[in-house]
Chain A
Amino acid sequence: MDILLLQIDSPAEVPSEIACGNATDYRAPSPSAATNLGTAFFEIASARADHPAMVTKAGTFSYGWIFRAADRVRRYLCTRPGYVAGARVALHLSNSPEYLAAFYGTLLADCVVVPLPVSLEAQRRRKIHELCRPDVLISCPDDFNSQEHPSPVATLTLAENSVENTSFVPPRRKDRDLAMLLFTSGSMGMPKGVMLSHRNLLANAESILHELPICADDRALVVLPFCHAFGNSVLQTHMLSGATLLLGRALTFPSLIVEALRELEATSFSAVPEVYGMLLKYGRLGERPLPALRYMTVAGGELRYDLAAEIADRIAPASFHVMYGQSEAVARLASLPYQQLHIRRGSIGKPIWGVQLAIMDEAKRELPPGDVGMLCARGENVMLGYWQDPAATADVLSDDGWLRTGDLAHRDKDGFFYLHGRANLLVKVQGHRVHPAEIEGVVEAAFPQTSAVAIPAARGEDIRFILFLTSRDDRPIDIAKIRATCQRELPPYKLPVHYEVVDRFPLTSGHKIDRAALALLAPRILTQAAPQPHARDSLAQSQ
């Protein structure tokens, strides 16, 4: 695998009247007219060359700049010895202009993008590399871990004053050809590569553009990572509209998100439920007017109705859109019209334009309104399948194109859908799909005499894991060692917040571990575990 590091020389100067976001009358062509996502981006970038595509703390990057940078990446990829169309190119990049250049450059080179989270644990990244064998890994000096990849590194400077001529060489891949591999957690906890075609990506962008009022003058403040299905969807819908993505500073702090919305005159904002929880608690959202804001969206997990209602209330007259989706369908599948938020409490809404949703039983028969069953989806956005895993693909995707989402749901008589939990063990933590086996496997691999069960539990408005442990051979369990292993191997969102040793696991009548019984213990354990009396007492008793 070759490694390419991207470095930025200087952002393009954008004429100030355009940079200020003065209204233009540009209307991007419909994504459904395109057959290749890279070509669709090129057409908009040529028409919008001077318009800001991305604003960062380093400066403003125009569509022309991003296209020229993408073209440099394309040239690098196409002139490499051993270049073949369809080769996988892994991206190891945070949200940045480099990400855009690498993403579209890869598509324009007729290669397949494999975006990986920068914070992904090394073990899982190695597993993904083994599975899809990328030819090239693209990163940048800030995101690159040289200890992990000792192989030779090439550097490409993305300069404004490049002497090379930029050219557009139409890519040949199109429609149902693979464009992107999006790795997510499968129903058994192993990484699965969701295969998304050009058609899938273009179709979902088209659907969302029917649902949300995105236009060419929009300025979306971005906190979602582009390597995530929801973040990728925000990226594609805005680039395919000729709009602007805003990357703010220190957006960890809820109050700074609100300030950035004001100062950068953002017209929209999208985030996972946890971020909205923090915005309500600590963000002062709604205290000062946000005149530029037109709408906000939530997806990537369930946001409680009362919180959704409060967000909607605080940002009015801007609208709040509750959406639902999954990586296997590019990103989004359903949306609740904001006028219905208070009427259809807790609903994920109706299928978005171009998507069919149905509730089915085990025999794949559609169930009537009110009955709970498997939520299934069909449409041009539904993936080609899982990368090199026909068995897992057959589990979720039927020949007639219906995708089993793994979510249980019912529909009301008016066609609004409501979720009822998962049919498998997958859990959403901060928008990341996590399978308990990912945590259990790390512990059991390092401590074969220990049996581990990870149970999700609500902590505040947050979902986190409790790890139940039992010994297979009656030797005592060393929690400190197990905790240290987890800390070494797992990213923070998968780290158990509590470790509980039990004599034995409760079993179901089928002699399987009774996870439901353990889940009932979770709230009490968290309440007992939370305060650390030593700390509080010592603080109170000192002096």
Chain B
Amino acid sequence: MTADRKQLEADIVQFVQARGKRYAEVTLRTDLLESGLLDSLLLMDLIFHIEEAYGIRFDTDHVNPSNFRTIVDIVSFVLDQTPVSQRHSE
């Protein structure tokens, strides 16, 4: 579980930091909402990236501030959504 989380965190941090100068300092616990960094374009891109890379689907209830406030929150959400069977397979 720990390895999973670390890897996911690194992936999402890299994804967000890759958006340019304003995002270069983003860390796991940066408040993406208070800092104004999470605009609708980043939200859309994060959803797209996570859905494609981790095979989960967001529904209406998932797209809310508590799941997207920090990268830690995003990763916790992704881990919650990944089917247990998939995580334990192979």
Contact = CB atoms under 8 A, between A and B. Distances in A.
Interface of A: 119, 250, 252-256, 274-275, 278, 281-284, 430, 459-460, 462, 483, 487-488, 490-493, 495, 497, 530-532, 535-536, 538-543
Given A254-B63, A256-B65, A495-B19, A535 B11 contact: yes
A531 B53 contact: yes
B4 A539 contact: yes
A283 B64 CA distance: 10
A495 B44 CA distance: 14
6 contacts: A250-B33, A255-B64, A256-B64, A283-B60, A430-B40, A490-B20
Contacts, number: 95
A278 B20 contact: no
B86 A282 contact: no
Interface of B: 1, 3-4, 7-8, 11, 18-22, 33, 38-45, 48, 52-55, 58-60, 62-65, 68, 82, 86-90
A75 B58 CA distance: 52
Contact of A542 (B18, B58, B62, B87): B87
Contact of A495 (B4, B20, B39, B55): B20
A542 B65 contact: no
Contacts of A495: 19-20
Given A483-B18, A539-B4, A542-B3, A278 B54 contact: no
A532 B52 contact: yes
Contacts of B88: 543
A531 B38 CA distance: 23
B61 to A, nearest CB: 8
Tell me which of A253, A493, A495, A541 has the highest count of chain B C-beta atoms within 10 A of its own C-beta: A253
A493 B41 contact: yes
A256 B89 CA distance: 37
Closest 4 CB pairs of A and B: A282-B63, A530-B52, A532-B53, A535-B53
Contacts of B90: 540-541
Given A430-B41, A459-B48, A488-B20, A253 B63 contact: yes
Given A255-B64, A460-B48, A532-B52, A491 B20 contact: yes
B65 A253 contact: yes
A261 to B, nearest CB: 15
A530 B45 CA distance: 12
